[in-house]
A and B are shown apart, each in its own frame.
Chain A
Amino acid sequence: MNADRLALLEASFNQLVEAICAEAAAGEYLTLKLTSERSQFVRFNHAKVRQTGEVADGWLRLTLMKDQRTSYREFPFTGESKLDWRQACTALEELRQEVPQLPIDPYLVLPSEVHQSREVNLGQLLAPESVASTLLATASGLDFTGIYAAGLLVRAYADSSGQKHWFATDSFALDYSLFNAEGQAVKGMLAGSEWDESAYIAKLHESKAQLEQLTAAPPKPISRGQYRTYLAPAAVAELVGMLSWGAISEAAMQQGGSALALLQQQEKRLSPKFTLRENFQYGLVPRFNELGEMAPLDLPVIVDGVLVNTLINGRTAKEYQKIPNGANSSESLQSPEINPGRLSAEKILADLGTGLYVSNLHYLNWSDRPTGRITGMTRYACFWVENGEIVAPIENLRFDESLYRFWGDNLVDLTDFQEFIPEVGTYENRNLGGTWVPGMLVEDFTYTL
């Protein structure tokens, strides 16, 4: 989207905010959250186009708080002022009917801060009509499958107390796999705001080389058991993602639903080599949450194996008398980073010695949340390694292992480099940001099937 159209969208949002907030009666508090995108999606299979299209979407969440009661309405935000205003008025009218009927919410947090922020990052994306030819000409002859998603993303917030935040960024994400005739595959990702053709060509070349390595020997079946394992950064990012699902949230901790409860209670410990933080300094995601609260630029979560902060939003803080730290409504990680260790790239295989090299993990779930046990599958380029040499790719294995082991006593080391694993999800809307993670070497990782 060009700057002029973005400016119109922002002006339209500001106009609506000003008008609807002026409608707030005494004792009424209004908040507005905008999620908007102009997206192109091109889906590939066998280096051909499976589906292709563009989506112009946007919606507003208008929340009314009054007399310690609250409800919301979400409705389309089109950028057409009259239409959007009509829908906003209808929403407010409905809320005024509904809210008095609702029970008192003792943990309701009224907007009170006066932060304002504005970030706009216009990039350079591929022209929509050139995506298929640009990507597929280079991928010719490969079994290339995946998706290219690109366009403008907007997140904004405003309220009747005068807070206002605007975050707009162009972004693209290319998420692909290359397959060989035996069905083995390697994964590749590229993401950013500036399309760089040479980076794409180099990435595809790297993937192709990995695929050739995968094809060099037939897959080796591995018996279930415990193996020394190197988990590459993409695999570590999958494990980190589990912390956002009933682990690092203060509410989960308080309500008996946290996998890290034993860590907090000091019944279990993690390795002093393990440090996790929320790092917003990369600037890829907005720092403001649904209440307009700003997260700190850098929030240590687990330092040297010790839990120093959970993620706490204003609502949880009010309920449990905690200090909020700008967490979102689900108290999930938004910009996680794991500190690197000392293992150099050159020494990964040598230090692994004999065991498994795991590039990616798939379909993770808690198998026993209170004990931190996670199950899932290995996926993509995973290898059996003997005496520091890759011997053969493996048939995919199921693991079932506790985070108190692989981030605890069994953590041998983390790599001295990190990789950025972009968040490429597109449920409801294109996601932002990603995870900065090193690879890690662990002892006795448990495989069960």
Chain B
Amino acid sequence: MIATELSQTFVDRLQKSLAALNIPADWIGLRAVKDASTTRAVRDGMPETNGTSFTQGVMVEVLVNGQIGYGATNSFSQASLQIAAQAAYQQAIAASQWKIHPISIAERPKVIGQYVSPVKKPFDALSPGEINDLLIQICQKLKVSDQIVQTTAAAYTREIETWFVSSNGSEVYQKFATITTDYAATAQDGPIVQRRTNNGWLAHCYQGGLELLITPHLWDTVQQIGEQALELLTAAECPTTTTTLVLDPDQMLLQIHESIGHPLELDRILGDERNYAGGSFVKPQDFGQLVYGSPLMNITFDPTVPGEFASYRFDDTGAPATREYLIREGVLMRGLGSLESQARTGLAGVACARACSWNRPPIDRMANLNLEPGNASFEEIISGIEHGVYMQANRSWSIDDQRYKFQFGCEYAKLIENGKLTQTLRNPNYRGTTPQFWNSLSQVGDRSTWKLYGSPVCGKGEPNQVIWVGHGSPICAFTNVEVFGGGA
């Protein structure tokens, strides 16, 4: 309740600031952010980074003549807000004769509500020294051999508070607590270098508190990371062949992100992003009819999953967040498009206008994008494969500007022979094209194989923004995929 009372006080303060702005606009919104992120990182048992970054500021959005201009300031003083609002107004006026789309107040709906991340153990439950001690112990446990030449352990915590008030009566307060952990071991034997991490770089990221730092299987997991890094030094190279590919959820997160999430962003389809990250092979007329993948494929946009990294109740324009199917039984149904993109395209979208902070405008973004579980157990999937490769944990990612041709690499793989996992493989990579790949989806794991991961570093937009996304997936199998190994 304390947080609620404080947030209401700040909402009241922002409302007063908004009312005091002297701007002849059709609509004004203030989106305030306070964001404190703490980094604790240890390498080889020695402290590498300790520190906290605190940023705060307000984005003033002003709607004039159907054009929004924004002014952002890192000061909450009324004078600074007035300067920001004035700049926003002038920007909107100057651009209004060149606007790409007339924006209406409907694209900034009136909303009132709150959201608070679920936290069991607050971030101050452990002291900075205790967290460092834990990370040092993790490094020590990772070093299972002298051939482990580097160990790293890091914990990143973040508390973000956002407030949104507007001249049409919106009052939103959201408080996010997130934690990301990352552990890695690098093994070396002469020119052979192999790195193993905890399900991929920064993949363990969630909403919650320190209960997610010391997890029940932490020490077994850490031991396994070190042992598998060592194991990879003498593992066989991934063969070059076309075969059945089984992906663990820790690689599925990347596959979903790059080849489903980004191509379905309506602003990419509208061309906004063509100068930077690119467009999309998906066209507006594809919605409702394109067979994106096999009938086993069900993709949801779901910011309502408790604890998933990018859960929220409202996006950064105030649109209420709901769970929606983007792809149902393989057919493309809906895009990742905000209220603005929905108005521009006439297509159904989701509440996905998100900004990375107070100093960037909201754009179409993934939030939680999940592949729904199927019916097959892990054993059933593997036992049905005569020859294949089972890959885990992303280590390399690259896809074209239309999100069509991709090549991804993983840390660790197992050969599948006659329904059994056999030898370990190193440098596993695969490549393909998006529609062909998803149409080759032949098995979708059941709920027991479904795992939640995410990424805190999804880059997009001009000006550039890094935002956090969540991805849940079961283990999946794909037929006739090109796989290959490393080497020059």
Q: Which residues of A contact B (CB under 8 A)?
A: 39-43, 45-46, 48-59, 61, 63, 69-78, 80, 83, 94, 98, 101-107, 128-133, 136, 143, 145-147, 149, 175-177, 179, 183, 185, 187, 255-257, 261-262, 265, 267, 362-373, 375-377, 379, 396, 398, 400, 402, 404-405, 425-428, 430, 448-449
Q: Which of B15-23, B91-99, B216-224 contacts A (4 or more CB under 8 A)?
A: B91-99
A131 touches B94 (CB 8 A): yes
Report A-chain residues with C-beta under 8 Å of the C-beta of B401. 362-363, 377, 379, 396
B54 in contact with A75 (CB, 8 Å): yes
Q: Contacts A56-B73, A72-B51 given: A48-B99 contact, CB under 8 Å?
A: yes
CB pair B95 A128 closer than 8 Å:
no
Q: Which residues of B contact A363 (CB under 8 A)?
A: 398-401
Distance of B346 from chain A, by nearest CB (Å):
17
The 3 closest A-B pairs by CB, nearest first: A53-B70, A368-B486, A101-B129
9 other contacts beyond A73-B52, A145-B271, A146-B462, with CB at 8 A cut-off? A55-B359, A56-B71, A56-B73, A71-B51, A80-B80, A103-B129, A187-B275, A373-B487, A404-B488
The complex places the Cα of A261 from the Cα of B466 at a distance, in Å, of 31
Query: Are the C-beta atoms of A370 and B75 separated by less than 8 Å?
Result: no
Is the pair A54, B84 in contact by a Cβ cutoff of 8 Å? Answer: yes
Query: How many angstroms from the CA of A101 to the CA of B47 in the assembled complex?
Result: 12
CA distance A70 to B433 in the complex (A): 48
Taking a contact as CB atoms closer than 8 A, the residue among B54, B99, B361 that contacts A74 in the complex is B54
9 A/B residue pairs, CB under 8 Å, sorted by A: A41-B462, A42-B95, A54-B87, A74-B52, A83-B77, A176-B275, A265-B191, A377-B400, A426-B464
Chain A residue numbers with a CB within 8 Å of B193 are: 256-257, 261, 369-370
* Residues of chain A with a CB closer than 8 A to B397's CB: 365
Chain B positions near chain A (C-beta within 8 angstroms): 43, 46-47, 50-57, 67-75, 77, 80, 83-84, 87-88, 90-95, 97-100, 127-129, 132-133, 136, 149-150, 186-188, 191-193, 195, 270-272, 274-276, 278-279, 359-361, 363, 396-402, 405, 407, 409, 427, 429, 431-433, 459, 462-466, 486-488
> Inter-chain contact count A-B, CB under 8 Å?
271
Partner of A133, one of B94, B274, B399: B94
In Å, the complex CA distance between A49 and B448 comes to 48
Least CB distance, B270 to chain A, in whole angstroms: 7
- Separation of A373 and B400 alpha carbons in the complex (Å): 18
Q: Name the one of B75, B98, B359, B399 contacting A48, with C-beta atoms under 8 angstroms.
A: B98
Out of B91, B149, B271, B396, name the residue touching A54 (CB < 8 Å).
Answer: B91
Question: In this complex, what residue of B is CB-closest to A431?
Answer: B464
Within 8 Å CB of A145, what residues of B?
271-272, 274-275
Interchain CB contact (< 8 A) of B100 among A40, A50, A398: A50
Q: How many whole Å from A358's CB to the nearest CB in chain B?
A: 14
Q: Name the contact of A76 in the complex, choosing from B74, B361, B464 (C-beta under 8 A).
A: B74
Q: Which residues from chain A contact B187 at a C-beta distance below 8 Å?
A: 256
Chain B residues with Cβ under 8 A from A71's Cβ?
50-52, 128
Q: Is the CB of B192 within 8 A of A149?
A: no
Tell me whether chain A's interface is mostly helix, strand or loop, or mixed. Answer: strand
Residues A365 and B396 in contact, CB atoms below 8 Å apart:
yes
Known A49-B67, A255-B149; judge A83-B75 contact (CB<8 A): yes
Q: Is the CB of B72 within 8 A of A57?
A: yes
Closest to B151 in A: A255
Cα distance, A146 to B99, chains bound together (Å):
14
Chain A residues lying within 8 Å of B270, measured Cβ to Cβ, are: 45
Q: CA of A77 to CA of B462 in the docked complex: distance in angstroms?
A: 24
Please tell me if the beta carbons of B71 and A53 are within 8 angstroms of each other in the complex: yes
Determine the distance from Cα of A111 to Cα of B463 in the docked complex, in whole angstroms.
34
Distance between B159 CB and nearest chain A CB, rounded to angstroms: 14
A43-B272, A53-B72, A362-B400 known; A73-B47 Cβ under 8 A: no
Determine the distance from Cα of A363 to Cα of B56 in the docked complex, in whole angstroms: 32
Taking CB as reference atom, which chain A residue is nearest B62? A53
Closest to B68 in A: A51
Measured CB to CB, the closest approach of chain B to A337, in angstroms, equals 25
B365 to chain A, nearest CB (A): 14
Q: Contact check: which of B100, B149, B359 meets A256 at CB < 8 Å?
A: B149
Which residues of A are found within 8 Å of B363, using beta-carbon distances? 51
Bound-complex Cα distance A61 to B49 (A) = 13
A367–B429 CB distance below 8 A: yes
A78 touches B75 (CB 8 A): yes
